[in-house]
Amino acid sequence: MHLIPIITLAALVSVSAFAQDATPLFNGKDLTGWDGDPKLWKVENGIVIGTNASPEAMANNSFLIWRGGTVKDFELRATVRVIGDNNSGIQYRSRELKDVAPWVITGYQCDIHPAIEHTGMTYEERGRGIFGLNGKNVLLDPDGALWQLSEHAPVKVDVSQWNEYVILAQGNRLQHFINGQPTSELIDHHADKRTLEGLLAIQLHKGNPNRVEIKDLRLKVLPEVPLVPFEPTKLPATATKIEKPRTSRPQGTGPVVPVKK
């Protein structure tokens, strides 16, 4: 496998250049161009707000879906916070599961989670689960086996405060950053399960009461790049085959509040 050197945020488009070329996805007034449960989503003072008022309020995680098109190769920057002991996330290259319920999504996610190991991780909602925790750079081989390529100190943030999340998706290589620091990277060679294009959405998580707020979200479309090829003889010396991570904290950092039926 030919490994491209890990990109730091400094190697991305500069903030000023990004601002010139990126498209704002919220108009600051209402949810024009977006589709979500009107009982859950609103705009106040230029901020998009999704609210889960109680454990009984939602049977499924619900998503605010961008209807302006699909995303393929792109850089996205979003300023987000989550109030309450629960989590949110930015979905991309995703698809709807209308047979489950309206506004339910499956696909790649940049997690926004109060548990440090989970925030900024690479994850697949209603799919293959967790790939790389915060601080882990990983690879999925063609059979779907997970390899850890390298690791670094996890990025520590308070998700109840405003933080900037960056997603860089290029071919089968996905990178997540928070406040200019890399959190997790995935190279996805699992062709039977990966997606290269799909929907963009924001998650509102069921269970523990919480509120997700977004005050800036901008998208820059990037030129398509070739897929990183899988060459097992060129795996780095640091590569280790690992089990997929699991979580004991699927909502926040405290005990899970069961949803009443």
Say if 196 falls within a structural domain. Answer: yes
Q: What are the φ and ψ backbone dihedral angles of 125, each rounded to 5 degrees?
A: -60, 130
Say if 166 falls within a structural domain. Answer: yes
pLDDT, residue 162, reads: 98
Say if 2 falls within a structural domain. Answer: no
pLDDT, residue 254, reads: 82
pLDDT, residue 18, reads: 67
- pTM for the predicted model, two decimal places: 0.92
Are 109 and 85 spatial neighbours (Cβ–Cβ below 8 Å)? no
Number of domains in the chain: 1
Say if 152 falls within a structural domain. Answer: yes
Number of CB atoms found within 10 A of residue 53's CB: 12
Say if 42 falls within a structural domain. Answer: yes
Query: SS3 for 65?
Result: strand
Number of CB atoms found within 10 A of residue 40's CB: 19
pLDDT, residue 259, reads: 38
Say if 253 falls within a structural domain. Answer: no
**213: domain CATH number?**
2.60.120.560
Q: Amino acid identity, residue 172?
A: N
Per-residue pLDDT of the chain in tens (261 residues, 90 and over written 9): 444 444 444 445 555 566 678 999 999 999 999 999 999 999 999 999 999 999 999 999 999 999 999 999 999 999 999 999 999 999 999 999 999 999 999 999 999 999 999 999 999 999 999 999 999 999 999 999 999 999 999 999 999 999 999 999 999 999 999 999 999 999 999 999 999 999 999 999 999 999 999 999 999 999 999 999 999 999 999 899 999 999 989 999 986 544 343
The range of the structural domain enclosing residue 162 comes to: 9-242
Say if 254 falls within a structural domain. Answer: no
Number of CB atoms found within 10 A of residue 12's CB: 18
Q: Is 251 buried (19+), middle (13-18) or exposed (0-12) by CB count in 10 A?
A: buried
pLDDT, residue 21, reads: 87
Say if 260 falls within a structural domain. Answer: no
